[in-house]
Amino acid sequence: MTKIILNGREVEADPKQPLIAACHEHASAVPMYCYHPGLSPVGSCRICQVEVKQGETPARVVVACRTPVVEGMVVNTEAPKAHEARRQCLEFLLKNHPLDCPICDKAGECDLQDYSFAEGQGEGRSVEPRRKLEKRKSLGDVIVLDQERCILCSRCVRFFEEVTKKPQLTVAGLGSRSVISTFADRPLEGNYQGNVADICPVGALTLQSFRFQARVWNLTKAPSTCGECSRGCSITVEVLRRQEVKRLRPRPNPAVNQFWMCDHGRFSFERFNAPGRLAGALLRGRTGLEAIDPADALDEIADLVRMHGAPLVVASPWLTQEEGERLRVLGGANHFLSPAPNTLKDDLLHTGDPCPNRRGLGALGFAPLAPAEALERLRAAPLALLVGERAVELLGAAALATLPSTLRLVVLDTHPLDAPAACIEIGVPDASERTGTWLNLDGHAGTLGIARSAPAGVAPLTRTLDELVRRTRGALAR
């Protein structure tokens, strides 16, 4: 570590990182557009200018993102000269920036807007008309480019060059006619396009699916973990008006996903918004499935366990450690559904394994079971528990409907299942509505966060299982 003097205070700085990293680490709000901690610094936007005095030379204004940390350097981020340099730089960045914040989706989380609000001048001095460029240029299915809003920071260009290692974007044209463009106007491809919308400091690159969907200040945000593969990327779940999940974004986590997440995980949120949730509990009566009190449904399950002995437990791979610990004492044989690896595996983040808690459930004594094999086991069992979100989806509702009605199937899922074998169903919360832990493939614990409340009548699965364990304690005495 190197010692520098930052705003009159002696602090320790990492000599491998540029000066701006030290400024941010020690809570000095130096603005940045082109610098991103996950990308190489280029110093193209010049907004991170600070005053640096080194040795005997007089103090100079330099860009903090391209300045290495040197022992004993004196840095002043709030010097009048630095403020003036940043103000002038900002004026030039805003020279051609359209003032369409009311329309722009980035408004509210835009670095340019925030810094203009903090330090910019109220009125522009420019009398020339602004650049006219393409306002909605589609770059493939995921990203829309607004060339007028772009400040040419080149974060997106560097993202494809340095992170995915497959360059797809470039700065085309010269001078004031420079624009971000794909090579030969080909659409963007790959599983990591969505990240460029996150790292874009302005509203130039936006997600096609999030366009005009919500104002960002109306979104409630909760830190959580992505459940689409066994990597378990740290994410933020963003919910509109406490009901509808609108967006998943990566959360920086150097141990797992750095700053990124894949599009497969990013757009998986739509399953949270599937209608027809199972609220409360259902019991098969004479006329079919009828709503009953969840507590009574638990009594019924306990009766079944007393009658048939320990059930076959087939858990969803989205089961958390906390739920698994409670569930494993219930079953005679514990399994979790393990669908075949998908083809999305790459060498960046996606592991191709759709089970986010494979490692954790394995440690708890759950054996992996392919869906086809699970159906065979279910066919032969007298009593089975199908537990956790999307367990029905993985087995297929149509396949479950063919199971014989000699099987007593108890379903604890988010959505109701219409099958002759299903005799008791209890609604459970999905991954955006509960808390818990998943262990990713490296054994790193990812925590689920509660981003919204579960539908009325749906209790946390841990509580449901606790109740069930309490009720079946006598029947399962070993």
Contact residues for other proteins (CB under 8 A)? Answer: 101-103, 107, 135-136, 211-215, 217-218
H or E element: which one contains 112? helix 111-119
Beta-carbon contacts of residue 472 (< 8 Å; ≥ 6 apart):
301, 302, 305, 306, 330
Of 117 and 212, nearer to other proteins (C-beta) is 212
- Minimal distance, residue 214 CB to other proteins, in Å: 8
Structure tokens at 431: 């991954």
Q: Which is nearer to other proteins, 17 or 209 (CB)?
A: 209
* C-alpha–C-alpha distance, residues 61 and 50, integer Å: 5
- Which CB, 101 or 399, lies closer to other proteins? 101
For other proteins, give the closer residue by CB, 204 or 417. Answer: 204
Q: Which is nearer to other proteins, 75 or 104 (CB)?
A: 104
Helix (H) / strand (E) element for 436: namely strand 436-439
Q: How far is the CB of 276 from other proteins (least distance, A)?
A: 22
SS3 298: helix
Closer residue to other proteins (CB): 135 or 271 = 135
Least Cβ distance, residue 102 to other proteins (angstroms): 3
- What is the chain's alpha carbon radius of gyration, rounded to the nearest angstrom? 27
- Nearer Cβ to other proteins (107/279): 107
Query: Shortest approach of other proteins to residue 452 CB, angstroms?
Result: 18
Q: In this structure, are residues 357 and 363 in contact, taking their beta carbons and an 8 Å threshold?
A: no
- Give the nearer residue to other proteins in terms of CB position, either 186 or 211: 211
Alpha helices in 269-396 (DSSP H): 294-308, 321-327, 358-363, 371-380, 391-395
DSSP state, residue 458: P
The least CB distance from residue 23 to other proteins, in Å, is 32
Distance, in Å, from the CA atom of 353 to the CA atom of 338, rounded to the nearest integer, reads: 9
Whether residue 304 contacts residue 410, with contact meaning beta carbons closer than 8 Å, is answered with yes
Q: Among 216, 178, 185, 180, which residue's Cα sits nearest to residue 198?
A: 216
Minimum gap (Å) between residue 202 Cβ and other proteins: 15
- To other proteins, the closest distance from the beta carbon of 145 in angstroms equals 13
46 dihedral zone (left: phi>0; alpha: psi -120 to 50; beta): left
- Closest separation in Å from C-beta 103 to other proteins: 5
Burial class of residue 374, CB neighbours in 10 A (0-12, 13-18, 19+): buried
